[in-house]
């Protein structure tokens, strides 16, 4: 059960919120301290021992750095649309941060010189998570600002798989696109310690940036002062605040859709081979379909609440609400809007919207919303299963 927190007992609520940080977990803190101390003292020997213990990968000084052959293999394994999307994202991120760039300046006023000297760091370490939290976007968002700032050398660390390689190819592709100078296949607190103090294989850096789990966060806090860090980040969270006047259906939808988005970010992947959808129930397609169903029904319900008691208008508003998000996404990445390329995407929403319009007059509204949203999801997934539509624009241009 999801706990319901009563604001009336706000003192106890405040104490609970302030005392729940994982960074205060003494067991984790002590483990991290031991790892950092060990890597600082023994260098590569400790680094590779912890890598084998925690990641199951046997590495040494000769194999810890990603090779050009591994990067080329990553390009071969990655879908071209994803590579193109990352290149476009890299160009946009770079353009944005170019506008933020600070420059050295000096003014002379009555014999007094006032100014600011801006110099880039010599070497920066970027931590990139692996496993279920492998986000190529975190590579671009951390490496490119450093590149724009003029950092002389950018070193990246990311956890290896049990085979000693970076398990997610787009991580290596993103690093190559962003211009990382060296990529090391180590992760966890031991990687942070190696960057902060240097080992026989990894160079010491001036600053460590990038997200990570609780061990990485504690390690960054532990090495702060020996080198700079960006911040000690906590877990991603979603908070929905509602009072007695809130529509409980909308509150539930807000919670569900936010949770589904987090799950999708953890599990998205490629589901097209040779132009065919090979996993029509894959997370990216399932969540895409669920988004269509939920927001279509919300659109119909909003139209009814606004006084549009006309079947055509209510269904039209619902369908446009459902497909609008997908169209906006495609426009933002300069693709033909998917509703123009895949008419079945919009058609899938019509039966559910129409049935909801008539059923909600006779049955409980919440039940009708869930039933009709599920119907839209089913039609959308069946359209993928039986190829009623053109290739999936999420995976193909």
**Among 196, 229, 262, residue at a domain's last position:** 229
On whether both 213 and 252 belong to a single domain, the answer is: no
Residue 6 lies inside a defined structural domain of this protein: no
Q: Is the pLDDT of residue 219 over 80?
A: yes
On whether both 278 and 223 belong to a single domain, the answer is: no
Please indicate whether residue 303 or residue 155 has the higher confidence score (pLDDT): 155
Report yes or no on whether pTM surpasses 0.85.
no
- 291-320 burial, b at 16+ Cβ within 10 Å, e below that, comes to bbbbbbbbbbbbbbeeeeeeeebbbbbbbb
**Tally of domains in the chain:** 2
Burial class, 169, CB count within 10 angstroms (exposed 0-12 / middle 13-18 / buried 19+): buried
On whether both 51 and 154 belong to a single domain, the answer is: yes
The predicted-structure confidence for 342-374, as pLDDT tens digits, reads as follows 445 567 778 888 888 888 878 887 788 788 888
Give the CATH number for residue 49. 3.40.50.1980
Q: Which long-range contacts (CB under 8 A, 24 or more apart) does 297-305 make?
A: 297/352, 297/353, 297/356, 297/369, 297/372, 297/373, 297/376, 298/250, 298/253, 299/353, 300/353, 300/356, 300/357, 301/249, 301/356, 301/360, 301/365, 301/369, 304/357, 304/360
CA torsion sign, 8 to 9 to 14 to 17? negative
On whether both 302 and 221 belong to a single domain, the answer is: no
Q: Is the pLDDT of residue 333 over 90?
A: no
CA torsion sign, 292 to 295 to 298 to 300? negative
Return left, alpha or beta for 274; rule: phi > 0 is left, psi -120 to 50 is alpha, else beta: left
**What are the tokens at 8?**
């009336």
The predicted-structure confidence for 34-76, as pLDDT tens digits, reads as follows 999 999 999 999 999 999 999 999 999 999 999 999 999 999 9
Q: Is the pLDDT of residue 193 over 60?
A: yes
Least confident of 185-189, 250-254, 378-382: 250-254
On whether both 208 and 138 belong to a single domain, the answer is: yes
On whether both 220 and 294 belong to a single domain, the answer is: no
Residue 112 lies inside a defined structural domain of this protein: no
Q: How confident is the model at residue 326 (pLDDT cuts 50, 70, 90)?
A: low
Q: Three-class SS string for 112-170?
A: EEEEECCCCCCEEEEECCCHHHCCHHHHHHHHHHHHHHCCCEEEEECCCCCCCCCCCHH
Residue 272 lies inside a defined structural domain of this protein: yes
Q: Is the pLDDT of residue 299 over 60?
A: yes
Please indicate whether residue 135 or residue 6 has the higher confidence score (pLDDT): 135
Residue 239 lies inside a defined structural domain of this protein: no
In the beta sheet, which residues pair with residue 224?
227
Residue 55 lies inside a defined structural domain of this protein: yes
- Helix-helix angle 68-77:169-178, to 10 degrees: 110
Domain of residue 198 covers: 26-92+121-229
On whether both 305 and 344 belong to a single domain, the answer is: yes
**Among 229, 261, 282, residue at a domain's last position:** 229
Residue 115 lies inside a defined structural domain of this protein: no
Residue 313 lies inside a defined structural domain of this protein: yes
The predicted-structure confidence for 232-256, as pLDDT tens digits, reads as follows 876 666 677 888 888 776 777 666 6
**Among 195, 229, 263, residue at a domain's last position:** 229
pLDDT at 132: 60
On whether both 257 and 348 belong to a single domain, the answer is: yes
Mean residue pLDDT across the chain: 80
On whether both 61 and 141 belong to a single domain, the answer is: yes
Residue 105 lies inside a defined structural domain of this protein: no
Q: Could you give the CA distance from residue 277 to residue 393 in angstroms, rounded to a whole number?
A: 11
- Looking at residue 7, the DSSP 8-state letter turns out to be G
On whether both 267 and 150 belong to a single domain, the answer is: no
In the beta sheet, which residues pair with residue 156?
126, 183
């Amino acid at each position: 059960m999801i706990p319901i927190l009563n604001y009336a007992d706000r003192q106890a609520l405040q104490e609970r919120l302030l005392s729940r940080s994982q960074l205060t977990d003494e067991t984790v803190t002590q483990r991290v301290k031991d790892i950092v101390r060990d890597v600082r003292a023994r260098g590569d020997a400790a680094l590779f021992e912890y890598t084998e213990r925690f990641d199951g990968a046997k590495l040494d000084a000769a194999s810890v750095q990603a090779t050009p052959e591994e990067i080329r293999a990553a390009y071969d394994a990655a879908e071209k649309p994803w590579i193109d999307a990352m290149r476009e994202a890299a160009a946009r991120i770079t353009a944005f941060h170019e506008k933020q760039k600070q420059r050295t300046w000096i003014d002379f006023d009555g014999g007094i010189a006032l100014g600011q000297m801006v110099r880039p760091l010599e070497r920066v370490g970027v931590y990139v998570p692996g496993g279920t939290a492998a986000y190529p976007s975190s590579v671009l968002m951390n490496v490119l600002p450093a590149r724009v700032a003029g950092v002389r050398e950018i070193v990246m660390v990311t956890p290896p798989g049990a085979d000693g390689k970076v398990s997610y190819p787009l991580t290596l592709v993103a690093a190559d696109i962003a211009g990382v100078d060296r990529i090391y296949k180590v992760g966890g607190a031991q990687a942070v310690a190696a960057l902060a103090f240097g080992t026989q294989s990894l160079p010491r850096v001036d600053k460590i940036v990038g997200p990570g789990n609780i061990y990485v966060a504690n390690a960054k806090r532990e090495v702060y002062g020996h080198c700079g860090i960006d911040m000690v980040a906590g877990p991603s969270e979603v908070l929905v605040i509602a009072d007695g006047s809130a529509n409980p259906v909308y509150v539930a939808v807000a919670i569900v859709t936010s949770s589904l988005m987090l799950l999708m970010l953890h599990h998205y992947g490629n589901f097209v081979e040779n132009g065919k959808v090979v996993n029509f129930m894959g997370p990216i397609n399932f969540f895409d379909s669920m988004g269509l169903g939920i927001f279509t029904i919300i659109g119909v319900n909003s139209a009814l609440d606004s006084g549009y008691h006309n079947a055509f208008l209510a269904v039209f508003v619902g369908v446009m609400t459902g497909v609008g998000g997908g169209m906006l996404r495609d426009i933002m990445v300069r693709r033909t809007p998917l509703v123009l390329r895949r008419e079945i995407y919009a058609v899938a929403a019509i039966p559910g919207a129409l049935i909801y319009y008539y059923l909600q007059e006779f049955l409980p509204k919440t039940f009708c919303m869930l039933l009709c949203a599920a119907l839209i999801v089913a039609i959308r997934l069946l359209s993928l299963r039986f190829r009623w539509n053109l290739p999936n624009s999420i995976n193909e241009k």
